[in-house]
Structure 1
């Protein structure tokens, strides 16, 4: 490249534009930054592939001009607001950790890109950008210029279909063709058929076998060479290194045998090895695809949204039953589960779950609202544009912004084994090679290759993800929906269980209510009902159902103060509904120890609604099971201690009961327990307990037909399954036992295989055959054990 052309993109620059870095010239800061990223990560070999690889490839110039059309580009966007756009692009060329690093640092390459996140298994990158600084077309051309051209098909985006990468299938097919024909041509050698295998034909068939092995060696096995090369360049020894080394050694040795007429070589074993290795990889890939499908399908949120029927009545509706054209009612702090059109005059939406930005976005009637927004303020109505996407809700719930930093013991075991496994394996293989060279050269190379292949820890790598994937599926079938597999391990470590009271150990559906104080007029009851219509608190929902049906009225103002109550203005009247703390004055002492909701209208205290709680079925037995199995049990409540005596009568002795707790006090209490070395699980309703749920090691939100999205929680449990909580904890511990047992089984297989391989009694071909068999054995074992332990949940 000459002195007047940019080293990265090849564009000619003027003297004023020239930027020099690392003795190379660039036309702009962007090109220099891309080069810096590549050079800092040993990826400058990228520039060996083509002249000016950073330039937009000529063949795609004009290819994506259609993205300038907003009607088309908007179909690709999954989120579209004035200051923030989000798009997920399918990148077929994602294949390694270096790809991930580059694609997750796009903000360094182009101004306007806020963040990018890679989903490696789906080969997708999710890009958040500012439309006033860049656009979708520029981002697509940027990706193409650095070698990651996205695959864009409007048909696929509209139907939800994905372009399938069939490279592994093609490689497997070529490997099978080569292996089958070489085996067929090798039969005369196997049986030494002199009548056919005369001297003048033997060299011809041996060279024919050599040429038949080339597609398998050069094409089918190429992935192992590339992976091993990149691993060495990154100074990280992965398991593909010994596999690639074994294949290359077998090929060189076999070629030498044919050239110098030492024998027929190992081409049959070589092609068989590649075929069975790829077969094992395909099995592993299908296994992960299966787990991903099960996870997406089973992990829908067990929440309901309020649907407005044609007669104006309001009914709860499961999120997956929502259809286009339905009219939904969204209350304060509720998640908008689908894209739609706002019908109400105006509202404010918090899209921090989607974008990470907490500033509310103002919307007016007729505006489009996107799934993932949280309603701030009063109640709104909207019309549905698309049916709910469960995978999108799962994606929001599992957003990295809300992930806890969890110590992954099972993962660290795998990492530690992998860290030392490859160097130890290489030392063992070379040691065996040197030892056998002094005894039998022919056997030496067999031993070397067999050791490299038989010790591949593929089964070890499958153990944890497959076990925990099964656990997530089985728990989901039993209406305990966990955020990810790491939560299972945290559940197994829990030693302290903290319960909220209202809406958690008490049932909002079984509660007696009476009013104490100055009787409310029918008009005042209407005002109260219209105010609490906006709230999702369990007491608000129960009181709303208790009050008589009334005409819907609009609120002038609405504010819900967490832990205190509601302040609203309706028909020019100020309504205050909530706890003693909200009232700001000393109230009547009668029944002060009961759960109640105070009512104040135009600064005049009217009285309170008295709630007689009904505790959940199985509560007493659940607490006994927990304490008998050495769990410490605590009850935190924002209510007063009016029911302390009753709780003490049904709860195990020495159960700690703490009342009058504000949300911040609950959080502080969880922190205190953790500082004492406790692994804490918090069970709450996801409303006033959000801080405590986030702080705890495991936070579980109880769902009772409310559409409250709590990204802080690690799991959502159907309230009807509350009595199974101890069984879930026990199942998590049993699952970790399964992982340790399967680790032991996998290591036992490796130990036995290595014993035969080192003794020279295991051929490379047989090692390649039993390697996928070991993975099948491990998968079968963990599946059987997961189902066996899971039966204990299903029986109850």
Structure 2
């Protein structure tokens, strides 16, 4: 039996989450906890003999001070919702997958994969650490879906369930590409083996065996032609319908002619054909395409606003909160928004004081105070008390939805065509010309050689090496960039990045860290005792500015802060309490009865024993190496910095930029988009780097839009790429690697031309033997692979990526 006691906090850290016990500490068997939530999690784990969770990592849990409200998951009792969330159900066995943003260490893996020991209804739990997902198999006769989610929440792993989870799910990357590759590989390998009689020139004594192998090769080539090669034919037909000749068209032509020529030779008994070359072309093309298409699935570029909104919200009727599906919310409904929850629709505040964090929309992390009667926009997160909101617009008509739809990338916005398609067009024209001249020559001099020579040209001069160099180089560079923190929407973005000459940067949340502030103090000198007292008061508040004051005054000495008595917080105004015999107040000028200063940024005023003492000023905290990044970009590109903030930091920002760089303040979303459009009208290729949804229109308008993400769930729908905020300093190196991509493709294309020249030398004479074709095709493909992987790897190593 665990013995629990409560006492005043002094210097202890929570055994579960590692946070400081600020007002009181709860003891269980000499283990200290900061709140009842953390103590409860420990009790659950201890009851089921899972305390090894704490031995794998120190303080592995997340803080449980903010309790999960009662009936938060009542909507999971709805059979319709349950059906849409379940991935599989057979009898009583159900399978479901949840996104758990709290997963961060080996302790999480240990605990989550031991869920069956916590709840008897859980059969198994398998964690995908990279995607922060868990797939759970459970028996619904022993555990409902709601019970399962509440169990996860009770141990500190509340699933992130959004409205998009119950929408009709789009099919992921089709497995047909893998199946097509498998079929092509199987057939190609076996055809190569059974073609050895042709390669080695077996005499007529083994003619029956050779003929058998020829027919066997013909049979194996049919699945490749009719199934594996289908994407090339489909792409070619679509491009020709639009009067555009893409890279797949000459490949499809080469496959067709190779097959026809090979079938003719087998039927006429004049040879074994080129089935090995045909199936090899398809196999290597599919392998390159699969590598290029294999992107990092942790980040989805196809989310919409429903990925961030809850499945249901509580509608207030007759004083009761009734869980209601979000699409059913109508104007005139009164909804409740609790602490830490998203405002799902535009509405008027009718009860409570709102302290709204609009960082998802604007990039600004400092919450905005809203009083009763004021309008709240969808997308903000309440950081204070429970609110009641009178809905005035449906979710689909909210400000956030309109902003999202205005920002969203359309397929046509990104499809400008690859230089490879342009090269392939000329390649095809040259190839047709050579084939025509060769055909005319042999028709006049020796008609028997006309058909073999013309078909051999199309067989040997297939542009597969060009496509291979493109896809394999792109695939490897996408892999390298993703490993270093830049995730591309698709391979075409590499070429767009390589062509940019102007970089436009958002400031707030991009160059600066949204959740960090640089603090300075002005006023009467604070003694060491006063500093500790102010920090002790501020640590009890969850306001971002209070946390910044604690970091500024206490730093790493939080454990030595003294106790606060009679603590009181007035949401949106300030905090006060007795610390070491002094009455301290922190807050607005009115709250502390201080004289307000003329300062465009945020300020927090301090009063001790009723007398104003001074004030803390806050400025944006720039990311590490921001000055070096801006200098590197200025040397290679024209540079602009846009921000929705006022010009209060103009002088500070100018110190980081060169004289030619443009700085624009008070920029609205439309202003940013129009600025990018103006640069493009002057012929510039623009890269826009931003973080908030207010950058969405500019990101969409730009040639390359890169969203800076602090978290996997925080980016806009208009980005061509997503960059990890901690890797922004590597942006210049990323651009240089993308530029190296084109050089590698050109080098490999030159190599493929050399192979084609050798092949064409034999082909135009009508003497191309199966042995020469069998050597040239795989040799060219393999050499391209070595060149592309080696070249892109060397370029990354040279850039220290």
Q: What interval of TM-score do these two structures reach, taking the shorter chain for normalisation? A: 0.5 to 0.7
Distance 2:696 2:447 in 1: 68
Give the distance between the partners of 1:360 and 1:279, measured in 2 at CA.
Answer: 65
Conserved? CA contact 1:483–1:715, under 8 Å = yes
Q: Are the aligned partners of 1:334 and 1:708 in contact in 2 as well (CA < 8 Å)?
A: no
Counterpart residue number, 2:455 = 449
Q: Which residue of 2 aligns with 1:621?
A: 628
Deviation at residue 655 of structure 1 after TM alignment:
2.8
Q: What whole-Å deviation, never above 9, does each CA across 1:461-497 have from its counterpart, x for those lacking one?
A: 2333332222222122222233332332222222222
- Residues 695 and 227 of structure 1, relative CA distance in 2, 3 Å threshold: closer
Is the partner of 2:519 in helix, strand or coil? strand
Mapping for residues 366-765 of structure 1, pairs under 5 Å: 376-379=379-382, 401-403=408-410, 405-406=412-413, 411-419=417-425, 421-422=427-428, 425=431, 428-429=434-435, 431-437=437-443, 439=445, 443-507=449-513, 508-509=515-516, 511-512=518-519, 590-592=597-599, 594-596=600-602, 610-629=617-636, 631-686=637-692, 688-704=694-710, 707-760=713-766, 762-765=768-771
| Alpha-carbon distance between aligned partners in 2 of 1:763 and 1:361, rounded to the nearest angstrom | 79
Q: Does 1:296 align with 2:292?
A: no
| Structure 2 unaligned spans of 5+ | 1-78, 90-169, 242-248, 346-359, 361-377, 385-403, 525-532, 554-560, 575-586, 606-611
> Where does residue 150 of structure 1 map in the other structure?
none
Q: Contact 1:350–1:376 at 8 Å: present in 2 too?
A: no
Residue of structure 2 equivalent to 1:266:
271
Shift of 1:762: 3.1
Shift of 1:610: 1.9
Q: Provide closer, same or farther for how the CA distance between residues 177 and 782 of structure 1 changes in structure 2, counting only shifts above 3 A.
A: closer
* Distance in 2 (alpha carbons) for counterparts of 1:349 and 1:210: 64
Relative to structure 1, is the Cα distance of residues 282 and 481 closer, same or farther in structure 2, using a 3 angstrom cutoff? same
Q: Deviations over 1:8-67 (max 9, x none)?
A: xxxxxxxxxxxxxxxxxxxxxxxxxxxxxxxxxxxxxxxxxxxxxxxxxxxxxxxxxxxx
Task: Give the secondary structure class of the aligned counterpart of 1:643.
Answer: helix
Mark the CA change 1:759 to 1:407 in structure 2 (over 3 Å): closer, same or farther: farther
Q: Is the 8 A contact 1:348 1:376 kept in 2?
A: no
Of 68, 75, 78 in structure 1, the residue corresponding to residue 86 of structure 2 is: 75
State whether structure 2 residue 252 is matched by structure 1 residue 248.
no
Whole-Å Cα distance in 2 between the matches of residues 428 and 516 of structure 1?
A: 85
SS in 2 for 1:708: coil
Alignment of 1:277 with 2:278, yes or no, is yes
Q: Which moved more, 1:774-783 or 1:711-720?
A: 711-720
Distance 1:439 1:175, change over 3 A: farther
SS in 1 for 2:647: coil
Aligned 8 A contact 2:700 2:718 in 1:
yes
Q: Which runs of 5+ in 1 are unaligned?
A: 1-67, 79-156, 259-264, 302-332, 352-356, 382-396, 534-538, 557-565, 569-576, 600-605
Mark the CA change 1:192 to 1:685 in structure 2 (over 3 Å): closer, same or farther: closer
Give the distance between the partners of 1:292 and 1:515, measured in 2 at CA: 56
Distance 2:632 2:648 in 1: 26
DSSP 3-state at the match of 2:639? strand
Q: Distance in 1 between matches of 2:646 and 2:199?
A: 85
- Tell me by how many angstroms 1:453 deviates: 0.8
Conserved 8 A contact 2:313-2:335: no
Any idea what SS the aligned residue of 1:456 has? Answer: coil
CA distance in 1 between counterparts of 2:173 and 2:413 reads 33
Change (3 A) 1:71 1:751: same
Q: Please tell me whether the aligned partners of residues 481 and 715 of structure 1 are also in contact (alpha carbons under 8 angstroms).
A: yes
Q: 1:71 to 1:485 in 2, by over 3 A?
A: same
- Decide whether the 8 Å contact of 1:626 with 1:726 is kept in 2: yes
Task: Specify which of 769, 788, 791 is matched with residue 785 of structure 1.
Answer: 791
Q: Secondary structure at the match of 1:610?
A: strand
1:215 and 2:222 equivalent?
A: no
Distance 1:609 1:787, change over 3 A: same
CA distance in 2, matches of 1:786, 1:554: 57
Shift of 1:159: 14
CA distance in 2, matches of 1:69, 1:181: 56
Task: Supply the distance in 2 between the matched residues of 1:661 and 1:647 (Cα, whole angstroms).
Answer: 16
Cα distance change, pair 624–414 in 1 and its aligned pair in 2 (3 A): closer
Give how far 1:611 is off.
0.7
Q: Is the 8 A contact 1:498 1:680 kept in 2?
A: yes
Q: Are 2:539 and 2:546, in contact at CA under 8 Å, matched by a contact in 1?
A: no
Report the secondary structure of 2:730's partner residue: helix
TM-score w.r.t. length of structure 2 = 0.53
Between the aligned partners of 1:770 and 1:358, the Cα distance in structure 2 is 68
2-side partners of 1:778 and 1:464: how far apart? 10
SS of 1:678's equivalent in the other structure is coil
Q: In the aligned structure 2, how far is the partner of 1:670 from the partner of 1:249?
A: 54
Contact 1:459 1:774 in 2 (8 A): yes
How far residue 668 of structure 1 moved from its aligned partner, in angstroms, is: 3.3
What is the number of equivalent residue pairs in this alignment?
Answer: 539
CA distance in 2, matches of 1:206, 1:702: 62
For residues 751 and 338 of structure 1, the distance between their equivalents in structure 2, rounded to whole angstroms, comes to 62
Deviation at 1:758, TM superposition (A): 1.2
RMSD across aligned C-alpha pairs, in angstroms? 5.9
Quick one: distance in 1 between partners of 2:461 and 2:658?
Answer: 52
Instruction: Determine the C-alpha separation between the residues in 1 that align with 2:171 and 2:251.
Output: 39
**Structure 1 residues 699-742: Cα deviation after superposition (integer angstroms, max 9, x where no partner):** 33334469533222333333333332222222222223223333
CA contact (8 A) 1:299 1:482 kept: no
Q: In 2, distance between residues paired with 1:544 and 1:691?
A: 37
Q: Is the 8 A contact 2:312 2:324 kept in 1?
A: no
Residues 764 and 71 of structure 1: CA distance in aligned 2, closer, same or farther (over 3 Å): same
Displacement after TM superposition at 1:596 (Å): 1.9
TM-score by length of 1: 0.53
In 2 relative to 1, CA 419–205 (structure 1 residues): closer, same or farther, beyond 3 Å? same
Deviation, 1:789, is 1.7
